[in-house]
Structure 1
Amino acid sequence: MMRVEGALRRVAAVTLSAVALCAASAAHAQGAGTSNESERAKMLFGSGAQAYASGQFSAAIQAFSEANRILPRPAIAYSLAQAHRRQYFLDKNKAHLELAISGFRAYIEQVPDGGRRADAAQALSELEPILARMGETSPARGEPKEPAKEPARLMITTQPSGAVFTIDGKDRKQAPYAVEVAAGKHRVHASLEGYFDEEREVLAVDRTLVPIPIELRERPARLRVTGPNGCDIFVDGRPVGTIPQSEPLELASGSHLVVVTKNGYKAFSQDIDFRRNEPKTVSVALEPTGQRIVARSLLISGGALVLAGGVFSVLALNRQSAALDIPDAQRQGNVSPEDARDYNDAKDARDRWRTGALLAFSVGGAALATGLMFYLFDRPTVLPPRARPEDRRTRPSSPSSPSSPSSPSPAMEPMEMSMVPLVGPSFGGAALTGRF
Structure 2
Amino acid sequence: MRAAARPFRPLLLWASLSLAAAPAAAQADARPTPEQVAQAENYFNAGAQAYEAGQYQVAAEAFLEAHERVPSPSLLFSAAQAFRRQYLTEPSPDALRRAIALYREYLRQDPKATRREEAVTALGSLVPLEARLAGEGAAPAGGEGSTAEGGGPATAARPAAGGTRLLLSSPAEGARVSVDGQPFVAAPLVAPVAPGPHRVRVQATGHYDEELTVVAVAGELMPRHVVLRVKPAQLRVTGTGGARIAVDGQVRGTAPTAGAIAIEPGVHVVEVSLPGYELFRRELRVTREQAVALDAELRMTSRRVAAWTALGVGAAGAVATGVLGGLALASQSEAVELRDRKDADSLTPSERDRYNAAVDARGSLGAAAAVAGGVSFLAAAAGFGLFAFDEPKGLGSAAPAAPPPRDPGVGAEFTVGVLSAGVRGRF
Same fold (TM over 0.5): yes
For residues 45-94 of structure 1, what are the alpha-carbon distances to aligned partners after superposition, in whole Å with 9 as ceiling and x for unaligned? Answer: 553454344233453464356557667877766766776676678888xx
The gaps in structure 2 that reach 5 residues or longer are 143-147, 149-155, 403-427
The residue type equivalent to 1:303 in the other structure is A
- Residues 270 and 385, structure 1, Cα contact 8 Å, conserved in 2: no
* Residue 123 (structure 2) pairs with residue 120 (structure 1): yes
8 Å CA contact 2:170, 2:228 repeated in 1: yes
Aligned partner (choices 10, 15, 21) of residue 19 of structure 1:
15
Q: What's the counterpart of residue 265 of structure 1?
A: 277
Structure showing the higher helix proportion among its residues? 1
Given that 1:59 and 1:153 are in contact with CA atoms closer than 8 Å, whether structure 2 keeps it comes out as: no
Indicate the SS of the match to 2:226: strand
Determine which of 242, 245, 253 is the counterpart of 1:241: 253
Q: Deviations over 1:148-173 (max 9, x none)?
A: 85222111121235411211232422
Q: Which residue of the partner structure matches residue 100 of structure 2?
A: 104
Task: Name the aligned partner's letter for residue 157 of structure 1.
Answer: S
Cα deviation, residue 203, structure 1: 1.0
Distance 1:7 1:252, change over 3 A: farther
Q: Could you say if the C-alpha distance between residues 68 and 249 of structure 1 is closer, same or farther in structure 2, counting changes exceeding 3 Å?
A: closer
**Against the structure 1 CA distance between its residues 77 and 346, is the aligned structure 2 distance closer, same or farther, given a 3 Å change threshold?**
closer
Distance 2:20 2:185 in 1: 31
Assess, with a 3 A threshold, how the Cα gap between structure 1 residues 147 and 252 changes in structure 2: closer, same or farther. Answer: closer
Return the alpha-carbon distance in structure 2 between the equivalents of residues 79 and 186 of structure 1. Answer: 29
Measured after TM superposition, the shift of residue 377 of structure 1 is 2.7
Deviation per CA, 1:11-53: give whole Å up to 9, x if none.
Answer: 559548x937x44799786552444446645643553454344
Q: Which residue identity is paired with 1:184?
A: G
**SS of equivalent to 2:170:** strand
Judge conservation of contact 1:81–1:101 (CA < 8 Å) in 2: no
1:358 is the counterpart of 2:370: yes
Amino acid at match of 1:268: F
1:163–1:105 CA distance, 2 compared to 1 (3 A): closer
Mark the CA change 1:254 to 1:46 in structure 2 (over 3 Å): closer, same or farther: closer
Match of 2:201 among 165, 189, 205: 189
Contact 1:219 1:277 in 2 (8 A): yes
The answer on 1:300 being equivalent to 2:312 is yes
Structure 2 match to 1:54: 53
Is residue 150 of structure 1 aligned with residue 159 of structure 2?
A: no
Q: Looking at CA atoms only, which structure, 1 or 2, has the larger radius of gyration?
A: 1
* 1:196-235 equivalent positions in 2, closer than 5 A: 196-235=208-247
Using the size of structure 1 for normalisation, the TM-score is: 0.70
**What amino acid sits opposite 1:54 in the alignment?**
A
- Letter aligned with residue 202 of structure 2: A
1:340 maps to a residue whose letter is R
Contact residue 173 and residue 204 of structure 2 kept, 8 A: no
Distance 2:288 2:214 in 1: 28
Offset from partner CA, 1:393-434 (integer Å, 9 cap, x none): xxxxxxxxxxxxxxxxxxxxxxxxxxxxxxxxxxxxxxxxxx
Query: Any conservation in 2 of the 1:299–1:371 contact (CA below 8 Å)?
Result: yes
Contact 1:266 1:289 in 2 (8 A): yes
Paired with 2:224 and 2:163, the residues of 1 have a C-alpha distance of 16
Residues 172, 386 of structure 1: alpha-carbon distance in 2 compared, 3 angstrom cutoff: closer
Q: Distance in 1 between matches of 2:159 and 2:276?
A: 80
Give the aligned partner of residue 339 of structure 1: 351
Q: Distance in 2 between matches of 1:201 and 1:372?
A: 66
Amino acid at match of 2:54: G
Aligned to 1:414: none
What is the alpha-carbon distance in structure 1 between the residues aligned to residue 272 and residue 291 of structure 2? 18
Query: Percent of pairs identical after alignment?
Result: 32
Matched residue pairs, number? 378
Aligned to 2:406: none
Classify 1:53/1:279 alpha carbon distance in 2 versus 1 (closer, same or farther; 3 Å): closer
**Residue number among 168, 187, 198 corresponding to 1:175 in the alignment:** 187
> Partner residue of 1:405?
none
Deviation at 1:231, TM superposition (A): 1.5
Question: Structure 1: any 5+ residue segments left out of the alignment?
Answer: 391-436
Cα distance, 1:269 vs structure 2 = 2.2
Structure 2 CA distance for partners of 1:289 and 1:87, relative to 1, 3 Å: closer
- 1:32 paired to 2:30: yes
Deviation at 1:357, TM superposition (A): 2.0
Render the CA deviation track for 1:182-205: whole Å, top value 9, x for unaligned: 322211111222222211111122
How far 1:211 moved relative to its partner? 0.8
Are the counterparts in 2 of residues 229 and 244 from structure 1 also a CA contact under 8 Å?
A: yes
- What is the root-mean-square deviation in Å for CA atoms of aligned residues? 4.1
Change beyond 3 A, Cα 1:359–1:53: closer
| Partners of 1:61 and 1:84 within 8 A in 2 | yes
Which amino acid in 2 is paired with 1:32? Answer: A
Post-superposition Cα deviations, 1:224-264, rounded to whole Å, max 9, x if no partner, equal 22222222222222233222333322222222222222111
Give the Cα separation in 1 of the matches to 2:49 and 2:367. 95
Post-superposition shift, 1:180? 2.1
- Check conservation: 1:271, 1:385, Cα contact below 8 A: no
- Relative contact order (alpha carbons < 8 A, sep ≥ 6): 1 or 2 greater? 2
- How far has the Cα of 1:213 moved from its partner? 0.9
Kindly indicate whether the alpha-carbon contact (under 8 Å) linking 1:262 and 1:380 is maintained by their aligned counterparts in 2.
yes
Q: Distance in 1 between matches of 2:349 and 2:362?
A: 20
Give yes or no for contact 1:224–1:249 (8 Å, CA) kept in 2: yes
Change (3 A) 1:230 1:66: closer
- Deviations 1:313-361 (Å, cap 9, x if unpaired)? 2323333344445456557768532222222223222332222222222
